[in-house]
Amino acid sequence: MRTNVVIIGGGPSGLLLGQHLTNAGIDNIVLEQKTKEYVLGRIRAGVLETGTVKQLRDLGLGARMDVEGFVHDGTVISFNDEQIRIDFARHTKTAVMVYGQTELTADLYARREADGAEIIYEVSDVEIEDLSADSPRVAFTKNGQRCHISCDYVAGCDGFHGVSRQAIPQTARREFEKVYPFGWLGILSETKPVHDELIYANSDAGFALCSMRHANLSRYYIQCDIRDDPKAWPDQLFWDALRKRIPEKFADTIETGPSIEKSIAPLRSFVCEPMQWGRLFLCGDAAHIVPPTGAKGLNSAASDVYYLADALTRLYRDKDLAAIESYSARALSRVWKTQRFSWWMTSLLHHFPHQSEFELRMQLAEIEFLKSSEQAQAVLAQNYVGLPY
Task: Give 138's strand partners.
Answer: 128, 149
pLDDT digit string (tens) for 164-185? 999 999 999 999 999 999 999 9
Question: Coil, strand or helix: which one is 336?
Answer: helix
214 noted as active-site residue: no
Q: What is the pLDDT of residue 284?
A: 97
Q: How far apart are CA 257 and CA 224, in angstroms?
A: 20
Q: What is the pLDDT of residue 90?
A: 97
**DSSP 8-class letter at 326:** T
Closest CA to 261 of 215, 196, 208, 213: 213
pLDDT digit string (tens) for 332-374? 999 999 999 999 999 999 999 999 999 999 999 999 999 999 9
**DSSP 8-class letter at 352:** P
Of 69-73, 79-83, 131-135, the poorest mean pLDDT is in 131-135
- Write down the catalytic residue from 292, 306, 316, 327: 292
Question: Coil, strand or helix: which one is 22?
Answer: helix
pTM comes to 0.95
Displacement of CA 122 from its chain's centroid (Å) = 23
Confidence of residue 42 (pLDDT cuts 50, 70, 90): confident
Cα-based angle 236, 238, 239 (whole degrees, multiple of 5)? 65
**Strands of the 118-120 sheet, one edge to the other:** 118-120, 28-31, 5-8, 153-156, 280-282, 276-277
pLDDT digit string (tens) for 249-287? 999 999 999 999 999 999 999 999 999 999 999 999 999
Q: How far apart are CA 21 and CA 60, in angstroms?
A: 13
Of 138-152, 204-218, 241-255, the poorest mean pLDDT is in 204-218
Averaged over 68-86, what is the pLDDT? 96
Q: How far apart are CA 318 and CA 278, in angstroms?
A: 20
- Write down the catalytic residue from 72, 91, 195, 288: 72
Specify burial of residue 314 (Cβ count, 10 A radius: 0-12, 13-18, 19+).
middle
CB atoms closer than 10 angstroms to residue 367: 19
Confidence of residue 132 (pLDDT cuts 50, 70, 90): confident
Q: What is the pLDDT of residue 136?
A: 96
- Write down the catalytic residue from 99, 200, 220, 316: 200
Q: What is the pLDDT of residue 186?
A: 96
- Write down the catalytic residue from 20, 195, 296, 350: 296
How does the average pLDDT of the chain come out, rounded? 96
Q: What is the pLDDT of residue 215?
A: 84
Closest CA to 379 of 88, 43, 54: 88
- Model confidence at 292: pLDDT above 80: yes
200 noted as active-site residue: yes
292 noted as active-site residue: yes
- Write down the catalytic residue from 99, 153, 306, 384: 384
Q: Quote the percentage of the chain above a pLDDT of 70.
A: 99
Q: How far apart are CA 246 and CA 332, in angstroms?
A: 35
**DSSP 8-class letter at 2:** B
- Model confidence at 214: pLDDT above 90: no
72 noted as active-site residue: yes
Averaged over 106-130, what is the pLDDT? 97
Q: What is the pLDDT of residue 13?
A: 97
Q: How far apart are CA 220 and CA 185, in angstroms?
A: 8
CB atoms closer than 10 angstroms to residue 23: 15
- Model confidence at 43: pLDDT above 80: no
Q: What is the pLDDT of residue 213?
A: 84
Domains annotated for the chain, with CATH where assigned, are 5-44+100-177+268-345 (3.50.50.60)
- Model confidence at 41: pLDDT above 90: no
Q: What is the pLDDT of residue 371?
A: 96
Averaged over 112-131, what is the pLDDT? 96
384 noted as active-site residue: yes
